[in-house]
């Protein structure tokens, strides 16, 4: 898996780490606060309207309204362990 933005096919080796809670705003430099994004999405995340959050260590994204009118948070993981955590929480 590479960039967590759905439909972005950039492989992990070509991504950058994004602090979900900004480091400058007090966010920790820890794997629980980091996700992989391609260069484009990392630079323009706020401008194009994607939202990212961590939900108990599981990254979730909310696409911009022009991309998805449902505006639901969607878990972005293929990890069997994280998927089990997600299922047991809901």
Confidence of residue 46 (pLDDT cuts 50, 70, 90): confident
pLDDT tens digits, 54-82: 988 889 999 999 888 888 999 987 666 66
Q: What are phi and psi of 54, to 5 degrees?
A: -110, 135
CA 34 to chain centre: 8
Domain range summary for the chain, segments of one domain joined by +: 12-89
b/e per residue 20-40 (b: at least 16 CB within 10 A): beeeeeeeeeeeebbbbbbee
pTM over 0.85: no
Strand locations in the chain (E): 16-19, 34-37, 51-55, 58-62, 74-75
Indicate whether 21 pLDDT > 60. Answer: yes
């Amino acid at each position: 898996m590479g960039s967590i933005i759905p439909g972005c096919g950039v492989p992990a080796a070509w991504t950058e780490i994004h602090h979900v809670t900004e480091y400058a705003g007090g966010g920790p430099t820890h794997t629980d606060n980091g996700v992989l994004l391609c260069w484009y999405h990392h630079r323009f995340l706020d401008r194009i309207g994607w939202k990212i959050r961590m939900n108990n260590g599981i990254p979730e994204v909310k696409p911009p309204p022009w991309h998805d009118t449902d505006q639901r948070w969607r878990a972005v993981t293929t990890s069997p362990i994280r998927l089990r955590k997600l299922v047991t929480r809901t």
